[in-house]
């Protein structure tokens, strides 16, 4: 079974600064996907960024980037130039790659990020 661990229940950052959220996972699979989802107070889960395990290059999406270390099973999220709208719960998630059947998303416990003005 896969497990995802987020060791930082809460974090805070000043507006315009950079913050890094940690995520580690445990799996025996070789082909999988990793995701960061954002959940604001509205409860709507929003995909922030995803990474394919077979790609060595770290994914980036505007101010969001990841540091994917496959051997260490680490997948951290860096948010640059933090904005007040980034305040939310952030979840790291894992999904096995299946060509035809797909599989469940396994989530970490979440990190509550607060961006202070």
Residues near another protein (CB under 8 A): 33, 35, 37, 42-47, 50, 52, 91, 97-110
Closer by beta carbon to another protein, 12 or else 18: 12
Closer by beta carbon to another protein, 18 or else 31: 31
Closer by beta carbon to another protein, 1 or else 117: 1
Closer by beta carbon to another protein, 64 or else 107: 107
Give the Cα separation of 117 and 108 in Å (integer). 28
Compute the least distance from the CB of residue 61 to another protein, in Å: 12
Compute the least distance from the CB of residue 10 to another protein, in Å: 10
Compute the least distance from the CB of residue 4 to another protein, in Å: 8
Compute the least distance from the CB of residue 69 to another protein, in Å: 21
Give the Cα separation of 60 and 109 in Å (integer). 23
Closest CA to 39 of 15, 16, 6, 72: 6
- Own/partner contacts of 44-53, CB < 8 Å, gap of 24 or more, are 45/91, 48/77, 48/90, 49/77, 51/75, 52/97, 53/97
**Cα→Cα distances 14→19, 49, 98, Å:** 9, 22, 40
């Amino acid at each position: 079974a896969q497990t995802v661990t987020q060791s930082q229940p809460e974090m805070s950052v000043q507006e315009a600064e950079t913050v890094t959220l940690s995520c580690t996972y445990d799996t025996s699979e070789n082909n999988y996907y990793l995701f960061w989802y954002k959940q604001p107070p509205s409860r709507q889960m929003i995909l922030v960024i995803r990474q394919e395990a077979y790609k060595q290059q770290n994914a980036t999406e505007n101010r969001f980037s990841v540091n994917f270390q496959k051997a260490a099973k680490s997948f951290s999220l860096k948010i640059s130039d933090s904005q007040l709208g980034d305040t939310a719960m952030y979840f790291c998630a894992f999904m096995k790659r299946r060509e035809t059947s797909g599989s469940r998303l396994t989530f970490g416990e979440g990190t509550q990020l607060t961006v202070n003005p």
